[in-house]
Amino acid sequence: MRFSTKHLLTSLSALLIAAPTHANPVTPPAPAQHGTLKFSTTGNVTRVTFDNPPINIIDPHLISDLLAYLVSIQPSPNTTTPKVVIFDSTNHDWFLGPLDTELTRAPITQDKITSTIEYSYLAPLLQNITTTAFIAEINGHNIGGGHELALQMDMRFAGPNAHTGFFENGLGLIVGGGGQFFLGQLINKGRALEYLLAAKAFDGPTGAALGLFNQYYSTGDALTTAVNTLAQRIGLFPQIALSDTKSALNNYLNPSPQLLAQDITNFVALNGNPESQADQAKFLALSQNQTNSPFELGLPEDITEIY
Ligand SMILES: *[C@@H]1O[C@H](CO)[C@@H](O)[C@H](O)[C@H]1NC(C)=O
Ligand SMILES: *[C@@H]1O[C@H](CO)[C@@H](O)[C@H](O)[C@H]1NC(C)=O
Ligand SMILES: *[C@@H]1O[C@H](CO)[C@@H](O)[C@H](O)[C@H]1NC(C)=O
Ligand SMILES: *[C@@H]1O[C@H](CO)[C@@H](O)[C@H](O)[C@H]1NC(C)=O
């Protein structure tokens, strides 16, 4: 047979059509049942936008929506999952707020137990789903439980409105969903203890200097552009390599499932302490029931006002 360019192209296109396709579009997620998450997918990258007014609090609705979404992107033969998920927020003041104090303050009910168990699944899933890299694009307040979730993600980038930290120790509680371990791993034990025990805040430049944020950008647009560029670049490469790399680093650096389970057990055990209950009641009053109040915006530093 005489070789010709036309022949080569025809053979190649036959081969390409016959080849198993690995380029299925990412399976679109079902709409979030409680409407606290919005989704948009471009290529292999999905943006998940928190939308739980007024302050993106980690309440039972958000916990349930986030759990359902994470479960839906676990590797499965029938779905093509995103290589990168970027988390951001519709709210200019808030990336993610604290855990709903109603979950810790009032007596234990079946609903509270369900939400606590659901919350305890979020951290392991953010780790176990090794086929996806999770990126937090933080350009707002990100405090308490919401900051813990950001620390469980694989990377964090901060913009000018980033203001993050933990105030749990001021309520006689702990950062009990694994956040203490991840903070210690990111910024070292001495610094983690400084920020946890004294309820100190990280702004973007400080967090970036300490290694909490991968990078700080001085405008929201620069932040989004940089995160999109990075995500698209990661999205080009084979998912198996992404998964093996994330697994390797997880195995090397992550706390064990037993330590994570113990952390949340310790947290729940502290919830009912009378001293903590009194602190939580003052906290709810000062924060106007965890709304966008000056006190809430001043967290974590102004937790000292309950004393
Ligand atoms: C995948 O699809 C096949 C055929 O439709 C079905 O039998 C199987 O249960 C599905 N597997 C999962 C994990 O959804
Ligand atoms: C995550 O993986 C660990 C270790 O394989 C396992 O023990 C745990 O049950 C998994 N958790 C979830 C929520 O998938
Ligand atoms: C998405 O991933 C597939 C499979 O790895 C790859 O063939 C495709 O080029 C990627 N698309 C983009 C836009 O990165
Ligand atoms: C906070 O909630 C409590 C109990 O639901 C209510 O009594 C109180 O008035 C609320 N406070 C504010 C500032 O909304």
Instruction: Output the CA 135–ligand 3 centroid distance in Å.
Output: 18
- The candidate with the shortest Cα–Cα distance to 175, out of 298, 263, 265, is 263
| Continuous segment of H or E residues that includes residue 165 | strand 163-165
Determine the Cα–Cα distance for residues 27 and 77; give it in Å rounded to an integer.
12
pLDDT for position 34: 96
Q: What is the mean pLDDT of the chain?
A: 92
Side chain identity, residue 260: L
Determine the Cα–Cα distance for residues 284 and 287; give it in Å rounded to an integer.
5
pLDDT tens by residue, 248-299: 999 999 999 899 999 999 998 998 899 999 999 999 999 999 999 999 999 9
pLDDT tens by residue, 284-298: 999 999 999 999 999
pLDDT for position 170: 97
What burial letters (b/e) apply to 136-153, b meaning 16+ CB within 10 Å? Answer: bbbbbbbbbbbbbbbbbb
Ligand at shortest distance from the CA of 255: 2
- Using a 6 Å cutoff on CB, does residue 247 contact ligand 2? no
Ligand at shortest distance from the CA of 236: 3
Tokens standing for residue 58? 């980690």
> Are residues 291 and 93 in contact, defined by beta-carbon separation less than 8 angstroms?
no
Distances (CA, A) of 40 to 31, 137, 205, 220: 11, 15, 29, 19
pLDDT for position 188: 97
What value does the mean pLDDT take over residues 203-216?
A: 98
pLDDT tens by residue, 36-71: 999 999 999 999 999 999 999 999 999 999 999 999
Share of the chain above pLDDT 70, in %: 93
Residue 298: helix, strand or coil by DSSP? coil
pLDDT for position 4: 54
Instruction: Output the CA 84–ligand 2 centroid distance in Å.
Output: 20
pLDDT of 16 > 60? The answer is no
Side chain identity, residue 191: R
Ranges 89-98, 102-111, 153-162, 293-302: which has the least confidence? 102-111
- Using a 6 Å cutoff on CB, does residue 76 contact ligand 1? yes
User: What sign has the CA pseudo-torsion 204, 206, 212, 217?
Assistant: positive
Ligand at shortest distance from the CA of 43: 3
Instruction: Output the CA 67–ligand 2 centroid distance in Å.
Output: 14
CA 22 to chain centre: 28
Determine the Cα–Cα distance for residues 198 and 91; give it in Å rounded to an integer.
27
What value does the mean pLDDT take over residues 221-238?
A: 98
- Using a 6 Å cutoff on CB, does residue 2 contact ligand 3? no
pLDDT for position 109: 87
- Using a 6 Å cutoff on CB, does residue 184 contact ligand 2? no
pLDDT tens by residue, 167-193: 999 999 999 999 999 999 999 999 999
Ranges 10-14, 101-105, 242-246, 303-307: which has the least confidence? 10-14
Q: Which of 69, 73, 119, 128 is the pocket-test mutation for ligand 2 (most atoms within 8 Å of CB)? A: 128
Instruction: Output the CA 230–ligand 1 centroid distance in Å.
Output: 33
Instruction: Output the CA 264–ligand 2 centroid distance in Å.
Output: 15
What confidence category does residue 19 fall into, taking pLDDT thresholds of 50, 70 and 90? very low
Domains of the chain: 5-306 (3.90.226.10)
- Using a 6 Å cutoff on CB, does residue 289 contact ligand 4? yes
Query: Torsion over CA of 242, 243, 247 and 248, rounded to 10 degrees?
Result: -40
Q: Which residues 6+ apart lie within 8 Å of 48 measured at CB?
A: 37, 38, 39, 69, 85, 86, 87, 88
Instruction: Output the CA 244–ligand 2 centroid distance in Å.
Output: 16
